[in-house]
Amino acid sequence: MLMLMPYRIDARKRGLPLITVLICLISGVVFWEQVESERQYRASIESFCSSALDDHAISILQTITHDKRQRPCFSFFNPIREASDPEAAMAELVAQAEPLDIFVSPIDGQAYIASVLRDSYEYYDRAIPELLTDKLAYDPKDLDWTRMITATFSHGDLGHLLGNLLFFYIFAASVELLMGTLTFAVFISVATIGTSLAYSFTVMHLETALPTVGLSGVVMACLVALALMMPGARIRHLLWIILYFRVIRIPAFFLMLWYVGWDIYDMRRLGNDSLINYAAHLGGALIGGLIGAYYAFFRRDLLDRARVHYS
């Protein structure tokens, strides 16, 4: 087993990175609300599936599922909710239903099944709240500026959150203290929107493109910006190989080359078959590279004064 985990930057720079801390706090609060939303979501599903539909509605819906042993529930109704056209999805289900013997005309039977299905689905849609994560996620096919922001503060699970916040704080705190709070706020805003646009541009031709959440594109922007502003800054890592532990220091510039190179390699190898948003990572790297290069070439005075804190 091998693990290489960054945990701090060697720096004596003083100051409080207000925006960095605020983003970490907001992300934590949003994740707490996501967890609570999921708890309510699961409880609503359990309640609906156990008692919401009467026996008559269940028997009618079973003509669609062709399974008399299972009660139609989440796996039956949720694809309708997620369909781009729920009415068309329901019409397709009705078309595959078994005919009802109580109607002389098959058309009348299908109309009745459609009516029961529509009423049952509307009941499901009212009873089961939409997940908060789904409301916050950014859909690359819909250029919604609000969702670009909310998706950045949202995460898929606890590991996703903690990993992003650890990397974010290590790099973003130093970048904020170098740039100043107001400039850093603008930088984060540009990175947030830019990484979302990079994802949309990359997958705009794909109908199967998935919504995305997470701070990782912004993290990459901070890493690359720091690596160009302070290439010699050393990041402490915990190296763990089976029972062997050691702290090693890796210059920010080499760390940037590793992460950007690995993302390019994986994106070329996996294409759009991965659940990792490589387009946002590389979009963030480009934005961070442009900002970092500007400081490296045109704000050398500021960086020279700060360099003593990163030696």
Tell me: the pLDDT tens digits for 41-80?
999 988 888 887 888 888 888 888 888 878 888 888 889 9
- pLDDT at 8 exceeding the cut of 90: no
Whether residue 78 is contained in a domain is answered as yes
Same domain as 182, residue 241:
yes
Same domain as 261, residue 207:
yes
**pLDDT tens digits, one per residue of 107-148:** 888 888 889 889 999 998 888 888 999 999 999 988 999 999
**pLDDT tens digits, one per residue of 255-288:** 999 999 999 998 888 876 677 889 999 999 999 9
Q: What pLDDT does residue 146 have?
A: 95
Q: Which helix (H) or strand (E) holds 61?
A: helix 55-65
- The fraction of the chain above a pLDDT of 70, given in percent, is 96
Whether residue 46 is contained in a domain is answered as no
What's the domain count of the chain?
Answer: 2
Same domain as 94, residue 184:
no
Q: What pLDDT does residue 97 have?
A: 85
Of the three residues 88, 106, 133, the one that is the final residue of a domain is 133
Give the mean pLDDT of 177-182: 91
Whether residue 126 is contained in a domain is answered as yes
Q: What pLDDT does residue 307 have?
A: 64
Nearest of 174, 154, 173, 271 to residue 217 by alpha carbon:
154
Whether residue 144 is contained in a domain is answered as yes
Whether residue 141 is contained in a domain is answered as yes
Residues with Cβ within 8 Å of residue 98, at least 6 apart in sequence? 63, 64, 66
Same domain as 180, residue 146:
yes
Same domain as 129, residue 156:
no
- pLDDT at 1 exceeding the cut of 60: no
Same domain as 183, residue 167:
yes
pLDDT band at 2 (very low <50, low <70, confident <90, very high): low
Q: What pLDDT does residue 6 have?
A: 82
Whether residue 15 is contained in a domain is answered as yes
Same domain as 195, residue 58:
no
Q: What pLDDT does residue 311 have?
A: 53
Q: What pLDDT does residue 308 have?
A: 53
Whether residue 243 is contained in a domain is answered as yes
Same domain as 127, residue 92:
yes
Q: What pLDDT does residue 169 have?
A: 95
- pLDDT at 207 exceeding the cut of 80: no
Q: What pLDDT does residue 284 have?
A: 96
Q: What pLDDT does residue 232 have?
A: 85
pLDDT band at 254 (very low <50, low <70, confident <90, very high): very high
Same domain as 141, residue 103:
no
Q: What pLDDT does residue 238 have?
A: 84
Same domain as 91, residue 31:
no
**In terms of residue numbers, what domain contains 244?**
2-37+137-310
Whether residue 42 is contained in a domain is answered as no
Beta strands (DSSP E) in 243-299 are 244-251
**pLDDT tens digits, one per residue of 222-246:** 999 999 998 888 888 888 887 778 8
Same domain as 213, residue 116:
no
How many CB atoms are closer than 10 A to CB 158? 10
Same domain as 181, residue 75:
no
Phi-psi group of 214: left, alpha or beta (phi > 0 → left; psi -120 to 50 → alpha; rest → beta) = left
CATH number (domain holding residue 279): 1.20.1540.10
